[in-house]
Amino acid sequence: MSSFDLSVLLFLQLAFILTVCRATALVFKRLGQSQVVSEMIAGVLMGPSLMGWLWPEWSAYLFPAESKPILFALSQVGLVLYMFLIGVEFDLDLIKSRMRSAASVSLAGIVVPFSLGAALASYLVGDSQLFSARTTVMQAMLFMGAAMSITAFPMLARIIFEQGLSKTALGTLALAAGSLDDAAAWCVLAVVLASFQNRPELAVYAIGGGLLFGALALLGLRRWLRPLGQKVEQEGEISPALLVFVLALVMLGAWFTDYIQIYAVFGAFVMGIAMPRGKFAAELHRTIYPLTTAFLLPVFFVYSGLNTRIGLLNTVSLWLLAGVVLLAATLGKGVACYAAARWHGESHREAMAVGALMNARGLMELIILNIGLQRGIIEPGLFAIMVMMAIITTLMATPIFERVYGKPARRLQQQPGGAGSPG
Amino acid sequence: MSSFDLSVLLFLQLAFILTVCRATALVFKRLGQSQVVSEMIAGVLMGPSLMGWLWPEWSAYLFPAESKPILFALSQVGLVLYMFLIGVEFDLDLIKSRMRSAASVSLAGIVVPFSLGAALASYLVGDSQLFSARTTVMQAMLFMGAAMSITAFPMLARIIFEQGLSKTALGTLALAAGSLDDAAAWCVLAVVLASFQNRPELAVYAIGGGLLFGALALLGLRRWLRPLGQKVEQEGEISPALLVFVLALVMLGAWFTDYIQIYAVFGAFVMGIAMPRGKFAAELHRTIYPLTTAFLLPVFFVYSGLNTRIGLLNTVSLWLLAGVVLLAATLGKGVACYAAARWHGESHREAMAVGALMNARGLMELIILNIGLQRGIIEPGLFAIMVMMAIITTLMATPIFERVYGKPARRLQQQPGGAGSPG
């Protein structure tokens, strides 16, 4: 296929992807579900698990192998811009303000699922449907531990925000714990990816390069950008020229972290943290968020769905394993966070809400899983099991949260824009 | 290269493209030039005309052939979103209000350059550096005529808007004449593209399909979307769900017009015209414009620049021809529009301003040239000549306009965001 043919097909793919996402969102919104759930499921539906199985010819026509590099590139651009915005909204002060209780909830929410995940991995690592042959026991344990510890931080933040809980004890606790957990899980993943090099010096480059990048961005760049932050504060808006400059920085960070073999999303996230706060951050959100979430991110969900083959789970033992993974994920994250919050003196209702929100894996889990699959750490069988776990833990979050927060929350959620954001 | 390698490279390409565009814009802004000029030139500089010539190895590393489909796809997505916004801002009422004078300026601005272009083409059509062997005399004349008649409508609109001339006689005249001219040139191009089929029934599909699409969008869809326009008017903002729906429509229109072998930009433009006006249109602009112009459009300028080989102009006669083309373009468009405006009773100063603005070809010319090259109507030699004509006519516009509008205009232009928009 020529470049032109591929671009014609891309328009059809995008029209189809956006339409299916929209239709799925309509159904799931009626069921009281968040948008991220509907997009995760829409992605799986458009992949081999449903569309490729029911209509193999249409599926082969719409998503031929030749078009994969373009879809992958678009999805990566979307992810990078999205993770950048997550970084932009990452609030260090908030974590400092609730350090003690946040630390204990987030510690529970990372130690318990990590341990359970690592234990499961040590038991599963020989299975060629689950882990690739070249994955060591240690790498499998670290990856599975990190993957279990993920929290759908963006979704959690959006729900807290929409319910008007941002300034409450519950809201601050959940936001601080969630962001700490995600940051920790991403660091572990960076170590896994770095260690997953054949030559040890490459791991040194990756870890050393990552640390250097983090230091340069968070200490040097951040300070250097401060005057620009003040300029935007005075002028009230970000100029097109400054936006181009910021986007160039984001792309450079994404490239560098990809190049040293950690991953583009880290670079983008760290660049986001380095941006000035206040009006500058708000303007970045205003200019980048709408098109990124409405247009580019759905491509990532589909790309992820194209990799998800639920049909691979064709034995009873694999389905049993899927159940065990789901149980471990929920016990390790949701229940452990509930317990930590209760232990810290929160009411049953608040602790349940925190547990449900922390338990949702959302988009973040799909990112980490796709990295693992693409790097050859895990195999399509475990990928499918983990995607199901991610979808189900995310599905559970909104109903539990709504139930413990009752009707007032439900009334608030029906305000415009209440469909939630990809997590 | 794997999908992953290509996406790593894409981040580097984007970082490089955005940085070069930013640096070029800084230089050209100081020279009092608009942003579109600097981006057109930045694109040419990153192509074989400069970077590929000075640093062939770096150029081959940064823009390998394998990455072209991804850059092309991204640039097409950017163009389609941009042309959609141009359609959204297309103001039919404005044209109606100044019908008589606008008609005479726009008629002059299309009949004269079209005739000169067609005459040139009839003389040049046998040359294998300029036109492909399978281009007929009639097609060459139509294409060259349409390409000569293009106006950088978005740039014209931005300059009028920035100078606060939107409601003045001059502003209304220029906006109405510019939009009429562009619409006419695009229609001629559609006919050329349709006629450029080997089999006549394909031309029928193209023209018939285009007319059907236009009728469905402008009569059916436009009416059908009206309640959504009222909803947005009441709510004050476009919901994420509605944005996804609109983007799906745009992609569908782009796909359909590509599929029937006219071109995606038509579909997007027509979809834009079909959108409700008022708050709905403003919200589409707010959500789509920033990332499209800051992030995606620069990729198109580079893609166009990668196709531009000024080194092909290696004979005196080709440089002479370039001069003749530039002269014909400026006489045909700028001088003819000046004369028509004078004849209609405008002052010398106003007529000069209208002529200068109408003469700029901007981004619109690059679009039509890239279509011609990609469809095999013109050859790289003529492409390079026409790109130079587009750049020089665009370069001329701002200084002439500034000079006839003097210091007050210059003071206004130094306001934030005054760098102009891609035309």
> pLDDT tens digits, residue range B206-223?
778 888 998 999 899 999
- Interchain pair A240, B18: CB under 8 A: no
Instruction: Compute the nearest-CA separation of A167 from chain B (Å).
Output: 25
Residues of chain A positioned with their CB less than 8 A from the CB of B306: none
110-169 in chain A: CB under 8 A from chain B: none
**Which residue in A10, A17, A79 has the most chain B C-beta atoms within 10 A of its own C-beta, making it the best mutation to test that interface?**
A10
Q: Average of pLDDT values for B270-274? A: 91
Q: Which residue has the higher pLDDT, B188 or A228?
A: A228
User: In this structure, what are the phi and psi dihedrals at residue A105, rounded to the nearest 5 degrees?
Assistant: -65, -45
Q: Which residue has the higher pLDDT, B14 or B90?
A: B14
Of all residues in chain A, the one with the smallest CA distance to B17 is: A248
Give ipTM to 2 decimals.
0.85
Beta-carbon pairs below 8 A across chains A and B:
182
Spatial neighbors of A125 by CB under 8 A, at least 6 apart, are A131, A135, A137, A140, A141
- Interchain pair A294, B251: CB under 8 A: no
Query: Residue with structure tokens 């045909």?
Result: B332
- Interchain pair B18, A419: CB under 8 A: no
pLDDT digits (tens, 9 = 90+) for A68-110: 999 999 999 998 999 899 888 877 776 676 667 778 888 888 8
Residue A147 DSSP SS3: helix
Of all residues in chain A, the one with the smallest CA distance to B268 is: A11
Average pLDDT score, chain A: 85
CB-nearest to B18 from A68, A251, A416 is A251
Residues of chain A positioned with their CB less than 8 A from the CB of B264: 7-8, 11
Alpha-carbon distance of A160 to A423, in angstroms, equals 13
Residue B124, pLDDT score: 92
- Interchain pair B243, A290: CB under 8 A: yes
* Structural domains in chain A plus CATH codes: 3-24+35-60+67-413 (1.20.1530.20)
End-to-end CA distance of chain B: 35
Residue B415, pLDDT score: 47
Q: Average of pLDDT values for B192-203? A: 70
Q: Average of pLDDT values for B328-352? A: 88
Q: Residue A89 is encoded by which pair of tokens?
A: 């909204």
- pLDDT band for position A235 (50/70/90)? very high
pLDDT digits (tens, 9 = 90+) for A299-323: 988 988 888 888 888 899 999 999 9
- Sign, CA torsion A137/A142/A148/A154: negative
pLDDT digits (tens, 9 = 90+) for B146-171: 899 888 877 787 777 767 776 677 77
Instruction: Compute the nearest-CA separation of A145 from chain B (Å).
Output: 25
pLDDT digits (tens, 9 = 90+) for A173-215: 787 788 778 777 777 777 777 777 666 677 777 778 888 998 9
Residue A95, pLDDT score: 66
Instruction: Compute the nearest-CA separation of A120 from chain B (Å).
Output: 29
**Which residue in B2, B11, B287, B288 has the most chain A C-beta atoms within 10 A of its own C-beta, making it the best mutation to test that interface?**
B11
- Interchain pair A6, B72: CB under 8 A: yes
**Which residue in A72, A79, A244, A261 has the most chain B C-beta atoms within 10 A of its own C-beta, making it the best mutation to test that interface?**
A244
Q: Average of pLDDT values for B99-125? A: 88
Question: A248 in contact with B at a CB cutoff of 8 Å?
Answer: yes
Instruction: Compute the nearest-CA separation of A154 from chain B (Å).
Output: 16
- pLDDT band for position A167 (50/70/90)? low
